[in-house]
Structure 1
Amino acid sequence: MSDSTASARRSPADAIEADYVIVGAGSAGCVLANRLSASGKYSVLLLEAGPQDRNIWIHVPLGYGKLFKEKSVNWMYETEPEPGLNDRKVFQPRGKVLGGSSSINGLLYVRGQHEDYDRWRQLGNAGWGYDDVLPYFKKAENQTRGPDDYHGVGGPLPVSDSRCPDPLSEAFIAAAAQTGLPVNNDFNGATQEGAGWFQTTTKGGRRASTARAYLRPALKNGHGNLRVETDAPAQRLVFEGKRAVGVQFKQHGQVKTAFARKEVLVSSGAYNSPQLLQLSGVGPADLLRQHGIDVLLDAPGVGADLQDHMQVRMVMECPQKITLNDFVNNPVRRMMMGLQYAAFRKGPLTYAAGTTGAFFKTDPRMASPDIQIHFLPFSTDKMGEKLHPFSGYSASVCQLRPESRGSLKIKSADPSMPPEIRINYLATETDRTANVEGLKILRNILNAPAMKPFITREVEPGPGTVTDEDWLAYCRKRGSTVYHPTSTCRMGSDARAVVDQRLRVRGLEGLRVIDASIMPDLMSGNTNAPVIMIAEKASDMILEDAR
């Protein structure tokens, strides 16, 4: 620790102190802030790089389309050229605002498969099997359908059914059933396989980000022991020897230091958490030296093992003017849609990034589904861009457990420089085969009898796509992210694991990482609900250790 940092520690005028300093007010950070401050016993400081969540489109479910390219609340990252996707760079939106990515995501509440968590436990992470994590999913949840063996009520996070059932989404479920898939009314219940409606993290037609569900109630609890600083990006962690004692952050052009009496908790997400560790001297030694950073801990796993879900969309033209395209592209219908939402919090403005969907196996020998379908009653070339001028809808294939792994590396010792992101989509034969087979099954569903009244033509990839080679070429041309990066600070007990099963950074003290980066591998579904569960479980572990 340098003399200047030591003197800053002695001079409280420009430093802040709390028992726990949390870096990142996202899906995990807001949960931690709520749970650690709840008793009034501990002081908590929450640092967020972005602003408060005042942008109106954050709170309207369909508003995620307006936030894809909104720099004020979005890190706007992109990958390096991806070899498996014709050397295209893939846009990677991440939340930079109170609530983090839970403020800009597609709102789907999907936990993944029971087998995902049992696999984590089998990898040596005791306490992370499905039976261990289910109580934390239930603790977080306020399920509008009521409690049962798999669901809880009374938790901070509202989980709701669709407020805008539409004939296209209904037809998709019926079509999937006609191809042999079971109808599944609860993807988060006994089993995931089948077709059905997605539930969303919404309440009364409004988005329930973790800022809204967890942080606001915590700030109102009256203890006065929770402090939130926005527009405060972390620069690096402060260490005394091998113990993390604080965080250096920048606010309004001024560098400040926050000191933690107990622990520093890094919850900056799968990209920013490993970036912060590397900037602080914790990471692959060669990479750190290359950028002139003193090596505190040679940890080759920091930034390694990056995984993400890829999606490939099919687009259909509809003979009936019932798609969102028809509402948005018609001034009168667009105004009526806005009025319906303003008055009743219902209608197409409540659409999530998938109304209905399906989970299925591309090979019947598999133990559990390897493909997820997101069905959408609208169509566009790219998410966040204009909807097509024709009546259109789309459905995307997402391979649930890709084998491909990539990396995240800093490009500079400057904290404001975006990191180098390489995901390596479609790097393995398994991944290529799964996407091709998944698309072939999706085409069968979209051509089943229940969908016939809603098809004028297949716009993309089009009837000329027939062979496996054609389908793979289409995947390379159109494949993109489903926005689920994970595993860059992986939990485990092997040499490359970054955190242990209590999410403490191995080889250091006073430091934990708590977010999607700790997942040993990608789970089979959308990542927001699992991240909230991880933070709920971590909160209990932190409070246990404090006692």
Structure 2
Amino acid sequence: MDIWDYIIVGAGSAGSVLAERLSADGRARVLVLEAGGTDRRPEIRVPIGYGLTFHGNAVNWRMQSEPDPGLDGRQMYWPRGKVVGGSSSINAMVYARGLPGDYDDWETAGNPGWGAAEVAQVYARVEHRVHADGRSTGDGPLWVSDRSREYHPLGRHYLQAIREAGLPEGDTVAGEGAGPYQLTTRKGWRHSAADAFLRPALHRRNLKLVTGAEVLGLTFDGLRASGVRYRRGGQTLTATCRGEVILSAGAVKSPQLLQLSGIGPGDLLQRMGIPVLIDAPGVGGALQDHLAVTYTFRCEEPTLNQVLGRRIGQVMAAIRYALFRDGPFSLSVNQMGGLVRSRPGLPQADMQLYFNPLSYSTVHRNRRPLLKPDPWPGFILSFNPCRPTSRGRIDIISPDPSAQPGITPNSLSTQGDVADMIAGGRLIERLLDTPALRKLATAAHGFTPQGQTDEAILADARARAGTVYHPTCTCRMAPREAGGVVGPTLKVHSAEGLRVVDASIFPNITSANTNAPTIMAAMRAADLILAGA
């Protein structure tokens, strides 16, 4: 029987980092179990392909939330990566650390060593920044590319509107300000966490990746994690560990696996007929996510609709990509945005903006939802509040490991979040009232906040707002008495030989996209593990 020093559940954004770092000395035997399959697929490797993976059964868990009272009882679609690289293989590739204050808040929540100064040093070891002029800085494994010179020229109107509205421009990677988003691409290809960390390490004899391995639960010797049970090819197998089991299955699957293994709210586990190993009410709790409202506009100036929405445009873009690895196929459509303050006097940015030189609708082809560019020139302007205070839950609804857990976002359940949603609509109205966007936008396609009451803006948000796919905090890093699941070394409270390392450990959601903080957290976790913390 193989016995491993580390078993990592999930080869996603966090698991890929851990696999590389923990196997680097050549001595520790590391097993990585991934429920999905290979990421060597054109729709993953070619950046624009995320429009296909968004609903792709082969690479996506395709989850659904429970009906959400704060959103008029609607259910939301939650894509999550089920593939090597996890959600870093299917996301829109925007790389943003968030605000320094996010991490000072993490430290204040009872987590020494996770403040802004400390995590900035970790980020510096993660990143290889490629600037718009071709210069490179940093020698980290993950390429973060400034592709702004290749972005659609429509973005100049957004930047002019930012200036006219009195909002600051800035580096969208590391702080406040609006501008071009930077992407995790390398020489025209997507550069996922698997590309940056896992794949270069797979030649090591002490590292093994097993795909198609759906973990069913953990095994224990008393309170010590001793291994995992997993299903592969119709067989149920057990992997045994003499060191540590590390859950890196994401903000949905990690709490699900803990609960299935007897670590979670005792009353819930008893109702499911699962023996209670550790009564931990915080497992699955404290869920936070970013909630966005999107507004669509027609314009006279050509947009990406005229490229990606027409066969000839697609063919020309594909030829350009094949020859030069550039053009629309090498980019995200999330091209502009940033963190800004919705009104003067706020201590820090409270809104994230998005400007896409594309508009689209959802169509169904062979019962499969697809995103189709509109047949007329259009663009999207949207926002999400950075720091929601609503907290939801993720809990198992069955002892069957193959059953999706119940996802209860509890959106807009605090007065602060309601006020922020209205403030975001007013910020968009302010941008639309600038000369730059008054000239660009010829008509709204659907609801616009211009001239609307606060009540109308909120009603529209409840009717249309959707997740930005940033679930976090479900195995929160905090003292147990404060509802935490893991401590500052990411060890599960009251258990031995068990850690959680992924976006579920965030004490609170960061201000911007969550992929960069997840990779940083895994790098920091590896430091702690290797130091024996």
Q: Does TM, normalized by the shorter one, top 0.5?
A: yes
Take 1:143 and 1:406, find their aligned partners in 2: how far apart are those partners?
35
* Structure 2: distance between partners of 1:33 and 1:301: 27
Q: Partner amino acid for 1:98?
A: V
SS of match in other structure, 1:456: strand
CA deviations on 1:208-240 (whole Å, 9 max, x unpaired) are 1111111111113xx311000000010000000
Q: Contact conserved, 1:249 with 1:257, CA < 8 A, in 2? A: yes
Q: CA deviation at 1:453?
A: 4.0
Moved over 3 A (4+): 381-384, 462-465
In structure 1, the residue matched to 2:528 is 541
- In 1, Cα distance between the equivalents of 2:488 and 2:6? 20
What is aligned with 2:138? Answer: 153
1:229 aligns with 2:215: no
Please report how far the alpha carbon of residue 46 of structure 1 lies from its aligned counterpart in structure 2 after TM superposition: 0.3
Provide Cα deviations, 1:268-319, integer angstroms capped at 9, x if missing partner.
0000000000000000011111111010000000000101000100101011
The SS at the match of 2:412 is: coil
Deviation at 1:497, TM superposition (A): 0.6
Report the more deviating stretch, 442-451 or 306-315.
Answer: 442-451
Query: What displacement does 1:17 show?
Result: 2.0
Q: Which amino acid in the other structure matches residue 90 of structure 1? A: M
The reply on whether 1:290 has 2:271 as its aligned counterpart is: yes
The equivalent residue for 1:364 is: 344
Q: Give the aligned residue type for 1:414.
A: D
Cα distance, 1:461 vs. partner?
1.1
Q: Which residue of 2 aligns with 1:344?
A: 324
Structure 2 partner of 1:262? 243
| SS of residue paired to 2:150 | coil
Counterparts of 2:376 and 2:465 in 1: how far apart (Å)? 22
1: CA distance, partners of 2:335 / 2:439:
19
CA distance in 1, matches of 2:192, 2:398: 32
Please give the residue correspondences for 1:87-486 in structure 2 after superposition, counting only pairs within 5 Å: 87-145=73-131, 153-162=138-147, 164-184=150-170, 186-189=171-174, 192-220=175-203, 223-320=204-301, 322-381=302-361, 384-462=370-448, 466-486=452-472
Unaligned ranges ≥5, structure 1: 1-11
Q: Name whichever of 330-339 and 44-53 sits farther off.
A: 330-339
Contact 1:139/1:152 (8 A) holds in 2: no
1:40 Cα deviation from its structure 2 partner: 0.4
Partner in structure 2 of residue 6 of structure 1: none
1:247 partner SS: strand
Aligned-partner residue type, residue 78 of structure 1: Q
Q: Is the 8 A contact 1:138 1:152 kept in 2?
A: no
| Matched ranges for 1:28-107 at <5 A | 28-107=14-93
Give the Cα–Cα distance (whole angstroms) in 2 for the partners of residues 89 and 224 of structure 1.
45
1:446 deviates by 3.1
Displacement after TM superposition at 1:63 (Å): 1.2
| TM-align CA RMSD | 1.6
> Could you tell me which of 514, 524, 527 is aligned with 1:527?
514
Q: Is the 8 A contact 1:279 1:410 kept in 2?
A: yes
Give the direction of change, closer, same or farther, for the CA distance of 1:339–1:524 in structure 2 (3 Å limit): same
**Secondary structure, in 3 states, of the residue corresponding to 1:171?**
helix
Contact 1:465 1:471 in 2 (8 A): no
Confirm or deny that 1:498 pairs with 2:485.
Answer: yes
The question of whether the paired residues in 1 share the 8 Å contact of 2:429 and 2:450 is answered with no
Q: What runs of 5+ residues in structure 2 fail to find an aligned partner?
A: 363-368
**Identity within the alignment, %:** 46
Contact 1:177–1:195 under 8 Å retained in 2: no
Q: Give the secondary-structure state (helix, strand or coil) at the position aligned to 2:486.
A: coil
Aligned length: 522
Alpha-carbon distance in 2 for matches of 1:511, 1:290: 25
Supply the AA of the counterpart residue of 1:379: S
The Cα shift of 1:465 comes to: 5.9
Q: How many angstroms does 1:447 deviate by? A: 3.6
